Structure formats: structure tokens, C-alpha cells
Structure 1
Amino acid sequence: VNVGILGGTFDPVHLGHLSIADAAMAQAALERVLFIPARHPRLKHAEPSASVDQRLEMVRLAIEDHPRYQVCDIEAHRPGPTYTVDTLVELSAKLGPAINLYFILGIDVLRQLDRWKDPEQVLGLCMLLVMDRPGEGDFNWDGFYERVPWAKGRVQVVTAPMVDISATKLRRQAAAGEMLTGQVPDAVAKYICKQRPYLKDWEERTES
């Protein structure tokens, strides 16, 4: 059974995330996709604006009509920085040897693979599903495999649509009280409108 893993801050989750999951599901014969909100990703310096519980709830709302998508809180309350290898070890033990894990990521993240914690162990625990989106430019695969030869045979490229949605822009719009309809699932737009998880972003901007 092939299971996809889509991690991120999801601050907030938006239609671009769902399009990535859809492409991975269709092209890699995935049985399901786990959405895993990170408490604080190691390679991102800024703290997420919404709390981890708010981000978990937004993901739940975003995927409620997708029975093969699931939210997983394995990283949500883990102390310290989030490392992919720790998540994969925990998931592998929990799901068992009959499950094949596919870690979904973008070209920009793949470029940093050698900066990950225990990257060779990561590639022993999962396949990488790399999103190839229009407009991202050519990727130097020969140079990549020269730098990380142990990744050969562990990377599958998936063609994904380019969805031009910026989480940073969404937070600014939400902080200003604008509706995010058409950029996030309707249930998420309503949640943000009601709960105002990005209100403090607006307050900080107006005070500065």
C-alpha cells in the first residue's frame, strides 16, 4: 500500500496544497495522503502565525470531503525542531512494513536535501515524490545526483499544476478582514473569518 506524506506549516492550508495531493495521488498510485502540519519546521526561521491546533483544524476542514486524505498530528506537539527522519521512523513503526511511504516535496525543498538531518536514512525509509511545476525552471539532475548519489532510484517526478497562491499573502488578506474564497476551501475561509487566527498579524503591522 502506497501512502503519501504531505508536510508543511499549512499556515493556512490552501487550494495549492490540495492540488499537489491530487497530482501525487493520481500519478503515484497512492492509496491515501497524510497531511502533517509541523509545529515548527527546522528550515523555516519564523514561527507560524496560527497556532498548531488552529492549523490542524484548518487542515481537517480542508480535507473533510476527501475520504482518502487524512490529517496526522504526529509532528504537532513534538518538542523542539521538526525533523523529517524522526517522523518517517515513527510512521514506519506505526504503519508497519506493508506500507510504502512517499514523501511529497517541491523542487525548492529537494535542492536542500543534503542539509536535512540523516538524509540517507530518510531515503531508506521513503521514496521522494517531487512536484515538477510549470515556471520553476530546469533542474540540474546530473549535478544533484553527483552531490547526493544515494538518492538515485529513490526519486519520482510528478507533474503538478502551478497554482499561484501565496500563504504570506493569504495571511495579510485574512488579517485585513478580507475573505479568502477561491484560494482556500470554503470551510477554511469560514473558519478564518470566524476565528481570526491572523488578527495579531494585522495588529503587529498597524503598531509598527
Structure 2
Amino acid sequence: MAKIGIIGGTFDPIHFGHLLIAELARDSLNLERVLFVPAGDPPHKQAAKKTAAHHRCRIVELAIEDNPTFELSRVDLDRPGPHYSTDTVALIRSQFDLAADDCHFIIGSDSLADLLSWHQPADLIQSCRLTVAHRPDYQPDVSALAEKLPGLAARLDWVEILLVEYSSSMIRRRIKTGQSVRYQTPSNVIDYLYQHQLYR
């Protein structure tokens, strides 16, 4: 049975941190493919202004075009919101006929720490495995989380990541102030951002 990873985000813009986490998860868990799911209407970021979806999709396509195991999924963009992770996972499992243990939802350790604030977190951990990008300098309290979410620890896979800081907000800020974003996101993405005057 094929195993598939899911990495969601606003990808505004996508950066090497997203790509590195996806590749490390793919490699360490032997995933057949990783789906990049640009956020449509994430409930926790409704107040934030997002770049138009067609630009964010194109940026993702450019960033992943040289990796045949990476794919863009529009599952959250082609349906009305709000969009919850439980729904996204259910739709992708149905689309690919995946068992819960073959569906890997990739998140950062900071997202794991906030899991109790998510919509139906108990349902989420039963519907997929959580693949956590673990930074050596940050350790969420899994025991405390597991007290409220029984069975959580058994649903986690850990992927060690390098201590390199990338953030979409930093890239937006640097472009706005005329600073270089080289080596923070793929060069074809940078070309697209400048061509379309994004974040200026």
C-alpha cells in the first residue's frame, strides 16, 4: 500500500524550510509522494491577508517542479471554507484510498504544541499519522498533550530537521524592503515574485 505525506500551509511564499521538511519526511518514512496543500481559508489565519490563491499555487508548482515525488493538491482551494485539517485528511484519504496509517500529516513541533486548539484533534490523530518536524532546540510536552489526547504518542513519527530558520513572513519583509532572499526560496520562485510584484 502506498504511503502519502500531506504538508499544508499558506505557502505565502513557500521556502526551503517547507521543502526540506517534506523531503526529510518522504525519505525517512519511505513515502511514495508528498502533497503540498495551499490553504484556502484556514480558521486560525482568517484575519491575515493572503496573496491570491493562483499566485500561491504557481509558486508551489515552481518550487517542486524538479522533484517527481512532490505534487500540488488544490483540495482546500477547490471547496468552500473554512478548511479544517480533519476534512483535508478525509478528502485525501478518500481520493487515494488510504488507510489511516498510510496517511502522514506533516507538521512542525510548534503546531504539535498547539494541537489541542485545533478542530477535532482526537479525530485527526485517529485518521492519520502525525509526522512532526522536530527541532533539537524545541521539545513540545507530549506527555501533557497525551493526557488530553489518549493514544497521541503512538500516532507520532518524528523527523529531525536542521537548525536553519526560514519563514514566509521574513521573505515578504525582505522583499518589501529591497533585501536579498537568495537561498531562502528557489530561484524560480524569486523570479516569479519579482515578475508579479508580490510583497512590494
TM-score by length of 2: 0.92
CA-to-aligned-CA distance 1:87-143 (integer Å, 9 cap, x gap): 11111111114681100001111122222222222122210001111322x332222
- Which piece of structure 1 moves more, 171-180 or 124-133? 171-180
**Counterpart of 1:108 in structure 2: which amino acid?**
D
Distance in 1, matches of 2:77 and 2:174, equals 25
Distance in 1, matches of 2:28 and 2:49, equals 31
Distance in 2, matches of 1:58 and 1:97, equals 28
Instruction: For residue 51 of structure 1, report the CA deviation from its aligned partner.
Output: 0.9
Task: Classify 1:94/1:10 alpha carbon distance in 2 versus 1 (closer, same or farther; 3 Å).
Answer: same
**Counterpart of 2:188 in structure 1: which amino acid?**
A
Task: Give aligned-pair identity as a percent.
Answer: 35
Instruction: For residue 179 of structure 1, report the CA deviation from its aligned partner.
Output: 4.2
Task: Classify 1:134/1:150 alpha carbon distance in 2 versus 1 (closer, same or farther; 3 Å).
Answer: closer
- Which piece of structure 1 moves more, 176-185 or 161-170? 176-185
Q: Which residue of 2 aligns with 1:127?
A: 129
CA-to-aligned-CA distance 1:20-69 (integer Å, 9 cap, x gap): 01110111111110000002321224334311110000000000000100
Query: Aligned pair 1:145/2:146, yes or no?
Result: yes
Instruction: For residue 5 of structure 1, report the CA deviation from its aligned partner.
Output: 0.3
Residue correspondence of structure 1 range 92-131 to structure 2 within 5 A: 92-97=93-98, 100-131=102-133
> Which one has a bigger Cα radius of gyration?
1
Corresponding residue pairs, total: 198
**Counterpart of 1:39 in structure 2: which amino acid?**
G
Unpaired runs of at least 5, structure 2: none
Contact 1:23/1:158 (CA < 8 Å) preserved in 2?
yes
Residue correspondence of structure 1 range 20-39 to structure 2 within 5 A: 20-39=21-40
Contact 1:179/1:189 (CA < 8 Å) preserved in 2?
no
Unpaired runs of at least 5, structure 1: 200-208
Q: Which residue of 2 aligns with 1:206?
A: none
Q: Which residue of 1 aligns with 2:90?
A: 89
| CA root-mean-square deviation | 1.7
Distance in 2, matches of 1:174 and 1:36, equals 24
Deviating above 4 A after TM superposition, structure 1's stretches of 4 or more consecutive aligned residues are: none
Distance in 1, matches of 2:126 and 2:148, equals 17
Residue correspondence of structure 1 range 46-61 to structure 2 within 5 A: 46-61=47-62
